[in-house]
Amino acid sequence: MTTALRLLVCLLALAAGMAHAATPRLWKATRGNTTLYVLVATPAGLPVEFDAYYTRAVLPALRASATLSVEGVGDGEEGPATPGCDLRQLDEQGIAMLNDARQRILTLALQADMARRDALDVKALAKAPDPDTQAQSWARLIEMSDEFTLLQFARVQTASLAPAAPAHDIAEALVRARPDIPVHDIDYRTGMMHAYCAAGPRRTMLLLDAADGTPSSAAAVPRLAHDFDALLRGRAPSDGSPLARLAPLDAGLVCARNRDWIARMGKVADGRTHFYVVPVRNLFAARHDEADCGGLLDDLAQAGFTVAPVK
């Protein structure tokens, strides 16, 4: 074998090894005979989340699991008593942001309503409320709704404006892959509301983010994938990234939420295997001017689990 041919073989082998060695997105936490798999995900359903690592590592872990826990199922157990958000926390800027969010959400609702009307046939359209009446109903509903209800409403309206065939997120894909598996909510029944309220005076940033949220365009996918990989490698995402712009709310959306999760996960000791899907920001430490806490992996280790990436 010539020197040039040996060099080519070595380069091909190196390239194959690099392609195989995807950045781990799945961690295995064991304590006694109980195992928890923790998969990090984005809400965008990025193509990179369905790569060879998904087939090689994620799906086998899912097949070995007795339950799947994701966000938003709505069956979470009752948690600590959680009052609604305290409006007195908001300063003038926060109140202005809340009022701005209400206006944006009303506009979003009207856009979604018009899109639904465009899809109605003539008979259905004849039975629908006239646009002015419906607009007044939306305005009353939004004005009377508390902050957290507004957040859910904004997300529903944004989703209804998504393209006809939006990308599925990883949690949806896992449910489809194991239609037999019991699916539970990762949060307490009021856990997400508790996290939102715990985010403090600047929490209305999340409302504005939801009202402005649009499905990821094809042009945005490479940047999102780059930022996702940066977070997995312990580096900061690019300035203005959707995966970083809510960092000022980490005290509630990361730290407080992780405390709720670990309180429940730490009680799991049934000798079975369970699978959890969590947002990528919750996995690692949030240490900056707005928050100071370890991530979920550190929390699991503190709870006595042995934690290791699945390669």
Could you tell me the mean pLDDT of each successive run of 10 residues in the chain, 311 residues long?
A: 48 40 90 98 91 97 98 75 81 92 94 90 86 93 93 88 66 95 91 88 91 69 92 89 91 93 94 97 92 95 97 92
Q: Round to whole Å and give the CA distance between 306 and 37.
A: 11
Q: Round to whole Å and give the CA distance between 215 and 210.
A: 11
Look at residue 74 in the predicted model and tell me its pLDDT.
Answer: 75
Q: Is residue 125 part of a domain?
A: yes
Q: Is residue 4 part of a domain?
A: no
The answer to whether 185 and 73 have CB atoms below 8 angstroms apart is yes
Q: Is residue 122 part of a domain?
A: yes
Q: Is residue 67 part of a domain?
A: yes
Kindly report the number of other CB atoms within 10 A of residue 190's CB atom. 19
Residue 41 bridge partners (DSSP):
279
- Extract the tokens encoding 161: 């404006």
- Extract the tokens encoding 227: 């930022």
Residue with tokens 């003038």: 92
Q: Round to whole Å and give the CA distance between 186 and 26.
A: 16
Look at residue 21 in the predicted model and tell me its pLDDT.
Answer: 53
Q: Is residue 17 part of a domain?
A: no
Look at residue 9 in the predicted model and tell me its pLDDT.
Answer: 40
Look at residue 106 in the predicted model and tell me its pLDDT.
Answer: 95
Look at residue 212 in the predicted model and tell me its pLDDT.
Answer: 84
Domain count, the chain: 1
How far is residue 99 from each of residues 90, 130, 211, 214, 311, measured CA to CA in Å?
12, 26, 12, 20, 47
Q: Is residue 9 part of a domain?
A: no
Q: Is residue 13 part of a domain?
A: no
Look at residue 177 in the predicted model and tell me its pLDDT.
Answer: 96
Look at residue 2 in the predicted model and tell me its pLDDT.
Answer: 57
Q: Which domain does 244 fall in, by range?
A: 22-309
Look at residue 166 in the predicted model and tell me its pLDDT.
Answer: 46
Look at residue 114 in the predicted model and tell me its pLDDT.
Answer: 93
The answer to whether 69 and 60 have CB atoms below 8 angstroms apart is no
Q: Is residue 117 part of a domain?
A: yes
- Extract the tokens encoding 118: 């465009």
